[in-house]
Chain A
Amino acid sequence: MTRPMAADRLRRVLALVPYIVGRDDVSIAELASAFGVPEKVIESDLEILPFCGLPPYTPDRLIDVAIVDGHVSLRFAEYFSRPLRLTPAEGFALLAAGRGLLSVPGSDSRGPLGSALDKLEQALGGEALVEVDVGNPGDLEGLRAASEARQRLEIDYYSFGRDAVTTRRVDPLAVVSMRGNWYLAAYCHQAADERLFRVDRIRAVRQTGEHFEAPRAGASAEVPADAFSPSEADTVVTLDLPASAGWVAESYPVLKAEERPRGRTRVVLAVSAHPWLERLLLAVGPGAKVVSPRSLKDTAANAAKRVLAAYDG
């Protein structure tokens, strides 16, 4: 595995050298902070540089590194005096993050971030029109204010999975946007645990007049990477699906998928709430079967009858 390491290091060094060359007085501590790496990493980069240079690799052709009292200077590296151009992936990363932050309600597109992105696009050779819309659901600003002021709230929350509205007392810890949805990370007094609430499903917010203490360090706002990760309370369900339902395995976090004759698929899913399974089965249609557990085999038919009753009503 030396290859990716060598390339990663080269990437850093090709930025590190111009950084040093462009400054009169630069310390190892400053370099570590500018590159977001430990000082040891910078030191080892600098140790290896004197072995690099141009043929015939005589002392006047090798990069000369001098470190005096933790201060670094370089000679004989004129060809590396400018950083390498941004790659498309690097340019995209800055644009996406920048446009993303500017799309958060309350951002100022005429501030330094906006002008930095304009300069970036110019340097990259023109405007590419990358637009990020993180949305602006219901009471985003109010929730952010409450989280900052540590105000305990009472919310009416529509749980999509359980298809029910519940009222909860929560201590709002952070408001974050993940993959296109806004979430309130909060300590929920009903659950006696931290929970994520989708902001667009919070139907009402009321002040309780109470305040809460700052949560212990590290407890807040760590949003789980996979909001679907199965928990112990989930039921494991095995479904037999027709060929037309290939999208299920793509769109849902299946634990296991197995090909069956005639294009059918058998999938195993962790189901946290009954309505969630109903939706899936109604969308797939008559070809879907619950293989196990047996107690759920009439789920689709019962759900269909219930919805039909709404049509008769």
Chain B
Amino acid sequence: MGDRFERLTNLVAVLLDTRRPIPLDELIDRVPGYPSDHESARRQFERDKDALRGLGVPVEVVEDAFGDMIGYRVDPKEYELPDLDLTGEERAALHAAVSAMKLEGGEGREALWKLGGLAGEEAPALGALPTVPTLPALTEASRRRSEATFRHRGQVRRLQPFAIIFRRGNWYVVGHDLDRNDRRSFRADRIEGEVAVGPPGAFDRPSDFAADALMRDEPWLYGEEPAVEATVHVDAVVAAWVIQRLGESAVVEGGAEAGDGAVVRMTVTNREAFRSFVLGLLDHAVVLGPPELRDDVVGWLRTIAGVAR
């Protein structure tokens, strides 16, 4: 097993140490460990190059003015980590964060190796965050102000990603949807396949952008239907939970501590999601109005109950 490690290490060393791009044949010839058969050696090199790029080594392909390949190299300026100038306290704080907030499958410890090692003590676990494979690419796109293109629930979306947000158990990317010409948010775990990141500097994040306003997880607002204002009575058993979910501003009457519950207001642009939310509360919630929404829920329940309208 030492063989491949040695070859990969030697490959990085020679590519970093050179200013002149090194042609493939020369690399295969000079770095020990490649098969003598040229075609096998070339394939092996391709796999090595992919492994190095997978680790983040910026293996550069240099071409001449006619587009013909001259060779490979690694530019130290692209390879080397800039000095972050972290204090010992700051490194310890990062270590504590990585150990306290466990990102599932996260590579925080490996990152800390590069920043001067794991400093200080591990912190006791305080929480866990899920992760999604597309998040690093979306974050990079947001940082570089690059357009992100991806498939989301079967549709191709082109987005100027303003922010990456975790809320209520899910990661979202929020930004300006170029095709719909409107602010949109997308659940990152519903993105299918890879995210294509465009050239940097493609947009400016609006100065008045506030992620919060967009990011309430209210599926009854994720829809294109004409907006209606619904009022719902929730009893004392669930009132506190519902008010926490919707915010104090949704309360029309009563409250979390009131003996007979509360009446809350909800703006609805997705009737199906609204119905699911209300039925999730079982007999603790009753839609008061408008008649259109109340009738929809009652009709739905009557069909399930097998009772004639």
Taking Cβ atoms with an 8 Å cutoff, the residues of A that contact B are 2-3, 5-7, 9-16, 19, 33-36, 48-49, 51-55, 57, 79-80, 82-98, 100-101, 104, 111-113, 115-116, 119-135, 137-138, 158, 163, 165, 174, 176-181, 200-201, 203, 221, 223, 275, 278-279, 281-283, 285-286, 300-301, 303-311
Contacts and interface: CB of A to CB of B under 8 A. Distances in A.
Contact of B101 (A11, A101, A223): A101
B97 interface: yes
A283 B5 CA distance: 55
A10 B54 CA distance: 11
B168 interface: yes
Interface string B1-40: 1101110111011101100000000000011100000000
Interface of B: 1-2, 4-6, 8-10, 12-14, 16-17, 30-32, 47, 51, 54-58, 76, 78-87, 89-94, 96-98, 100-103, 106-119, 124-131, 135-137, 139-140, 142-145, 162-170, 205, 211, 215, 237-238, 240-241, 244, 275-276, 279-280, 282-286, 294, 298, 300-307
Contacts of B305: 301, 304-305, 308
Given A13-B5, A281-B304, 20 more contacts: A10-B9, A11-B113, A54-B10, A54-B13, A55-B30, A88-B140, A90-B56, A94-B111, A97-B100, A112-B92, A121-B143, A128-B140, A129-B205, A131-B165, A138-B240, A163-B282, A178-B128, A304-B304, A306-B283, A311-B294
A124 B143 contact: yes
Q: Please name the 3 residue pairs, one residue from A and one from B, whose CB atoms are nearest each other, closest first.
A: A34-B117, A180-B169, A177-B127
B293 to A, nearest CB: 12
Of the candidates B12, B81, B143, B241, the one having the most CB atoms from chain A within 10 angstroms of its own CB is B143
A3 B117 contact: no
A132 B282 contact: no
B219 to A, nearest CB: 11
A6 B1 contact: yes
Contact of B97 (A5, A6, A100, A303): A100
Contacts of A94: 94, 97-98, 108, 111-112
